[in-house]
Amino acid sequence: MDSPTARPPARELNIQDLELMMQWCTTTYRSVSRNSTVECIWQAVVPREAMRHPFLMHGILALSALHLAVTDNADIKDHYIRTSKDHRNQALLGLTKVSGKSKPSHCNATFTLSNILMIFSFALPEIMEPSPNRCVLDELHQVFQSTRESIDMLVNIIDSVGNGELRPLLQHDTSHPRMPDTSRLAIMSLARLNANLARQDAHHEKDLYDATIKQLGYSLDKVSQGGETMIVAFQWIFHVPSQYIELFRQREPFALVILAHYAVIIHSLRGHWWMGEWGARLIQEIGQCLDTNWRNSLSWVLDATGCYIPPV
């Protein structure tokens, strides 16, 4: 018989990981659940899936750590931000290893991690301490880029996810209060402005902007009709033309005007800790980039959000 001293030592529990999982199961899961009907999936089904897929577990721990970083204690905040980044990097590494595989067993974990990483992309800049050189437009460009990197992967698995246990996450909820349906007038105004710009400049990217405005119209319609704002906000990032993203990165005035209209959607998500004042900060920075004539095109945006753009 082996003596007790000959046995390998018991593996110690990782207290920090347990803390982060407790944070997920008691609090953070609610902040990624668009409504109460899917809370049980994020609270129970997703952690169970994470037990089989370490990359998803790292994603859960990353967002939980970032949630705990929402504090006025600078030392604690820095600690949890570092922890969240470490887990995020591990999640991305694991996701890279399975992204080229088409195993059905990976689909649910890949889909839920992609959702978590999209939320993480908005949350990290919101929680970081502001700096004099901070640029909201550049931060949003990074969010768009990182989010769109998962397009091909999600397209390949979406049918499998929609036929499985996570199906409710893909279903639209129309029980939310409707927004005032003034957005169609705003879209018509953008379309007229686009046509006018094309008449004034033969090099104006009218077709590109028409496609972008059309997608924005779909998104604002869904929100005004009670569609789930969180889904709408992320879908627009996937659906806009890639050339448009480059135009707003270059600070093209009309691209920024359209982006300010999109900011109305994310502003309506400001009650979520991971979104916060993204919308207001974005609208204000866009306003600072535009001259007086272009600012006149933001009247609906300011009315819809109550935001204020300080004079230049």
Tokens of 274: 């991971």
* DSSP code, position 178: P
Quick one: pLDDT at residue 51? 94
216 and 138 in a single domain? The answer is no
74 and 196 in a single domain? The answer is no
**Tally of CB atoms within 10 A around 241:** 15
pLDDT along the chain (312 residues), means of 10: 46 81 95 85 94 95 96 91 96 84 79 92 87 85 87 76 82 56 90 97 96 94 79 89 95 98 94 93 95 94 91 72
Residues of the domain holding 188: 182-305
Short-list 305, 308, 296, 204, CA closest to 255: 204
Domain boundary residue, one of 170, 204, 228 = 170
194 and 162 in a single domain? The answer is no
- What is the C-alpha to C-alpha distance for residues 214 and 178, in angstroms, rounded to an integer? 20
Domain boundary residue, one of 108, 141, 170 = 170
Q: Is 6 part of a structural domain of the chain?
A: no
Quick one: pLDDT at residue 218? 92
Burial of 39 from C-beta contacts in 10 A (0-12 / 13-18 / 19+) = middle
Q: For the whole model, what pTM was predicted?
A: 0.88
38 and 140 in a single domain? The answer is yes
Burial of 297 from C-beta contacts in 10 A (0-12 / 13-18 / 19+) = buried
Number of domains in the chain: 2
